[in-house]
Chain A
Amino acid sequence: MLSNTNCGWVDGPEELFDPLQFAVDLEMTDKSSDNGVRDVNSLKNDDRVFISKGLITKANGSSYVELGLTKITCSIYGPHETTTDESYSKCLLDTSIKFSPFSRPKRIDPLRITYENSNEMDDTEEAELCSMLEECLLPCILLHKYPKSQIDIIIDIIQEDNEANLLSAIVLSTTVALIDACIELYDTVVAKSLKIDSNLLTVCYMPNLAQVSSLFFDGELTTNELDKYVDECIKQCHILHKAICKVIIDDLKNKDQESKQTKIA
């Protein structure tokens, strides 16, 4: 029998914490924009946001985000030296998204994801989310500052509530983790998804530059309707952006105060 230390396994964390102590409660109840469009999100829970960062100490940057009931952790490793031959004047992004086996009411087989019901998730969904995430992150990272390096983004979906929140929560957690990892960004990207009947619209938005980094739309809508919903998404993105700013600036202030106190002591 092999001992645990020999095969590189970790027995578990050395210390245990109450998970609630990491949660920053930000109830984002927006009462000003009650113009009927918000009816599409009938659940009030969909707007609740919890953001916290720096949970995974081994990673360069990490975050934990709850959007509604969707719970996601993101960890960033790197930038580190890449071994691939592809363009090394710029940085490479390597994203991996994993659904936990218990993230959905029906158990997901972590090794082989196959479903008889075609409406359910198929094995390409994780890869599809990865490519969507890369598409909306690439415009906002200063890739030329990290030549010949690679940034690994590892995302764990702990619980999925509804598909409208999923991509939005993934983008949110990745942004917070990238900021935590001190990787240079053009802007803080936030994403908001709206589900209109069977149509799913996701807008990834950079609030300070007022640019849409990417837009995903699945379904049928008239151009006027689409305009209206995109505007609504952008409005919601501003609220999420404020939440991110609050968490990060509070965290910076706390750390500064701690360092001052230790200097005095």
Chain B
Amino acid sequence: MSSYYCVPGDRLCPADSARPGPGTYEKQGCIFASIAGSIKLNLSENELGAVSHNKNTSNNEKPIITVVREEHQLAVPTVGLLAYCKITHVSPRFVRCNMFAINNQPLKSICHGMIKREAIDSNNKDTVECSQKFRPDDIVIARIISLGDSNSYLLSTAEPELGVVAARTSTGETLVPVACCKMRCPKTNIIESRKVAKIQNDFIEETER
């Protein structure tokens, strides 16, 4: 299969025949490429359904045009995406962490994040104690909810699927999750409290996207 290549600024197609995807932008009624790479046309997810149901808006029937470059994909922290982070500091009001990957794409340089006490759990927000939810060096999945201030991004784990995915005891033993707020050391059977992430299939799909 031969592919078509483009450089930034190349006019790809008129805006009414496709929707702009990643690597493209829309201007003056046309879709232009914004990165160098090969051009791909993806039929939208609703395409098959849209044929049988004429009710769907024409917007759904348009294919998405994208420009991809295999070897070079940059991850930029954006509001709404999922971030993998490592807890660095736990204080009574908030938790600080370093983001090292976003949506399964490693970051070139780490970004600083902060989880406020109110954003840790959706249940019993007022009684949350940060030290009972996270410990330093835990690996956590969190959602970026705001760009925050100049120092750090604001993150949230107030969803059942978000929270600690890997943690160790103070002696270095890997903890095993047993409940939504408990992890057990397999050797000593000591229970430690954590905000454990409930890994679900649709969530795995989201990170793989």
Contact = CB atoms under 8 A, between A and B. Distances in A.
A88 B5 contact: no
A161 interface: no
Contacts of A186: 8-9, 25, 27, 32, 34
Q: Main SS of the interface on chain B?
A: loop
A182 B69 CA distance: 8
Contacts of A259: 70-71
Contacts of B5: 249, 252-253
Q: Which interface class (under 10, 10 to 19, 20 to 34, 35 or more) fits B? A: 20 to 34
Given A80-B109, A142-B25, A252-B36, A188 B76 contact: no
A114 B9 CA distance: 42
A107 B110 CA distance: 40
A182 B74 contact: yes
A188 B35 CA distance: 10
Contact of A88 (B11, B32, B111, B147): B147
Contact of B7 (A60, A79, A142, A244): A244
B200 interface: no
Contacts of A145: 76
A179 B109 contact: no
Nearest to A258: B71
Nearest to B79: A147
A249 B69 CA distance: 12
B150 A85 contact: yes
A60 B11 CA distance: 26
Interface of A: 60, 78-85, 88-89, 142, 145-149, 179, 181-188, 206-209, 244-245, 248-249, 252-253, 255-256, 259
Interface of B: 3, 5, 7-11, 23, 25, 27, 32, 34-38, 69-74, 76-78, 108-112, 147, 150-151, 153
